[in-house]
Amino acid sequence: MADTRYRGIPVHLSSDEYNYLPRVQEALSGRPEMAPEAVVGDPSLVPMQSALIEKIEGIFFSWTGWRASTVFQLMDAVIPPIIFVGIWWFLLLCGFTQSQAFGGAILFTVLNLYNLNRPVHQRTSFLLELAALLGVIRGVQGHVTWGLIGGVLMGLLVGVYFWSWTFVWAWWGLLLLYELMTSIRHGYRKEVGSILLMGLIGGLIALPFVTELVAMSGHPLYAEAQYRSGILFSRAPQSWIRSTLFLGMAGGVLGAWVLYPKRLYRYRLAIITVLAAFIVLNQQVIHGVILFFSSHYLISLIFGGVVCLVLALTVRNRWTLLSGACALVFLAGIAYDGRHIIKQFILEDDHFYEQHLASALPVLDAMPRVRILSDQPTSLFIAGHTHHDTVYSIYLKNVLINDEEFAERYCLTLLPILPNERYIEDSTHLLYFEQRQRSQDVRDREVQMVKDACNRMDKDPNGFLKKYGVDYLFWNEKINPAWNLTKLKKVRIEKVKTEEGWPAGSFDSAQDKLRSENAGWSLWKVLL
């Protein structure tokens, strides 16, 4: 990078890269089995996500010596063009002309500039989703190898991303239903056997993942982790506006299909895609559970909206006019909501907030694996760029631990900060990131739980450090001067290394107030 502000730490292009960097880094570091829970590094903890993509990327690139951030840079250049070609090919298979397919692929790409910069979900998972659909279509057309690929990917997606496999299986189910209905009317079609065979292959591949999910649901801590993850129980739409628009899209294409079956036969796969998007968005009507359908299906919903709009511009009647108008409103809303995304390509000073930590990486790389406590953003940096373990991440909400432990781990990131300077009530990240927005009682409960945990920590900080296996403290002095280790009471620590290369020396922080005014970071060993 030519920018003089750059010192070796890649700049983030999306807000959730630290959800995935530690997982890939863990696999790159030789522990792919720990990738699903790559923050704490405790084999006894049970994660709710499998991190299959992250494991595969880490294993595949483990020979390079790269960090996870370098792998992501490579994927940034490789995966979006493949998705573009995949969208173009899918639209061709749906019956559209090359120019129509090319225009649809461009529209999809422009509307997903942010999603296509998300390193795993929803970018890489959507690529697998798209490849599964292409495989099924080609399999139905008689291409055995493609059909096998489609079936295998349908199964693997169950271990990858809930919002990807549910879309693909809904799409597969609609295709099967269509072929069955056609067979009833016009005699058996061999396509039915092909679709069922691919579903059987997918089911067999998915069986281990389904078994794991069933076993996890019986874990005594599953209910707490499920609640923290934001699962709601309701049959009402999560987004009335989007559900209404997709109802219009689905109703429009269905009406056109019923009234003009011969003309719409060519575009039956496009119609199935729109219907699949409508079903997954409103699936809570069937099972009564809401799990971020409006946001986590977003790239699939945009996919369905683009297909619907291209169809409406190709086949014009009053029914497709309805569906096209709804698709246009939906996609226009997506474009408006994402208008700020262009700024991600304009580098501001804030994008370089981690560059001073580049000098810490050689020091951390030379150390054997240990557990390092730091403030929350710096903990993510350590977990995402090194082989070391940390104590806390907001993503631990998806691990089967109880709320009390989650609160205690959170409090440890505030350990050196004076109690009256922690401002717990003002924190946007405590325990229940989604649920608290729906109830003040939930917000009050999580605030009190964290305060109680911090009070216990202040009474026995050494006990907390020992309980959670903390070996070192890392002070990011430039970014978080309030995390002042020289004010840390009751804990003996030893300064090991700083950016300026200070010599090591032990001291009691209650007595020794030495500190460099220019240090960007410092590393301290805990003496318990």
Does residue 513 surpass a pLDDT of 80?
no
Rounded CA separation 139/247 (Å): 30
Q: What does DSSP assign to residue 525?
A: E
Q: Which residues pair with 492 in a beta bridge?
A: 508
Residue tagged 């220019």 (tokens)? 518
Work out the percent of the chain whose per-residue pLDDT is above 70: 92
pLDDT value of position 438: 62
Task: Report how far apart, in Å, the C-alpha atoms of 265 and of each of 140, 179, 204, 364, 478 are.
Answer: 15, 12, 32, 61, 63
Q: Report the range of poorest mean pLDDT among 30-39, 451-460, 489-498.
A: 489-498
Top mean-pLDDT range of 170-174, 255-259, 345-349:
170-174
pLDDT tens, position by position, 373-383: 999 999 999 99
Q: Directed axis angle between helix 298-314 and helix 123-140, to 10°?
A: 50
Residue 448 and residue 507 in contact, taking contact as beta carbons nearer than 8 Å: no
Radius of gyration of the chain (CA): 26
Rounded mean pLDDT of 81-96?
97
Q: What is the mean pLDDT of residues 12-38?
A: 88
Measured CA distances, 149 to 136, 146, 202, 356, 480 (Å): 8, 5, 10, 45, 49
Work out the percent of the chain whose per-residue pLDDT is above 90: 60
Q: What average pLDDT score do residues 20-42 get? A: 91
Residue 15 has pLDDT above 80, yes or no: no
Q: Is 371 helix (H, G, I), strand (E, B) or coil?
A: strand
What is the structure's pLDDT at 502?
38
Dump pLDDT digits (tens) for 289-326: 877 767 889 999 999 999 999 999 999 999 999 999 99
Which among 469, 458, 474 has a CA at the least distance from the CA of 415? 458
Length of the chain counted residue by residue: 528
Phi, psi of 369 (to 5 degrees): -60, 125
Mean pLDDT of 347-357: 76
Mean pLDDT value across residues 19-23: 91
Q: How confident is the model at residue 507 (pLDDT cuts 50, 70, 90)?
A: very low
How far, in Å, are 96, 236, 255, 277, 310 from residue 105 at the CA level?
12, 33, 26, 17, 10
State how far the Cα of 356 lies from the Cα of 17, in Å rounded to an integer.
19
Residue 456 has pLDDT above 50, yes or no: yes
The CA angle 239-241-247, to the nearest 5 degrees, is 100
* pLDDT value for 437: 56
273, containing H or E segment? helix 268-281
pLDDT score of 71: 93
CA 383 remoteness from chain centre: 16
User: First CA to last CA across the chain, in angstroms?
Assistant: 43
194-233 per-position pLDDT tens digit: 999 999 999 999 999 999 999 998 899 998 888 888 777 8
pLDDT in tens, 397-429: 889 999 999 999 999 999 999 888 888 888 877
pLDDT number for residue 2: 62
Question: For 338-347, what is each residue's pLDDT tens digit?
Answer: 777 766 667 7
The whole-angstrom separation of Cα 483 and Cα 76 is: 34
Q: Tokens standing for 486?
A: 């020289």
Per-chain mean pLDDT for the chain: 88
Q: Is the pLDDT of residue 13 over 80?
A: no
Beta strand 232-233 with 289-290 is antiparallel
For the segment 349-365, the average pLDDT, to the nearest whole number, is 83
For residue 19, give the amino acid letter.
Answer: N
Confidence grade of residue 251 (pLDDT, cut at 50, 70, 90): very high
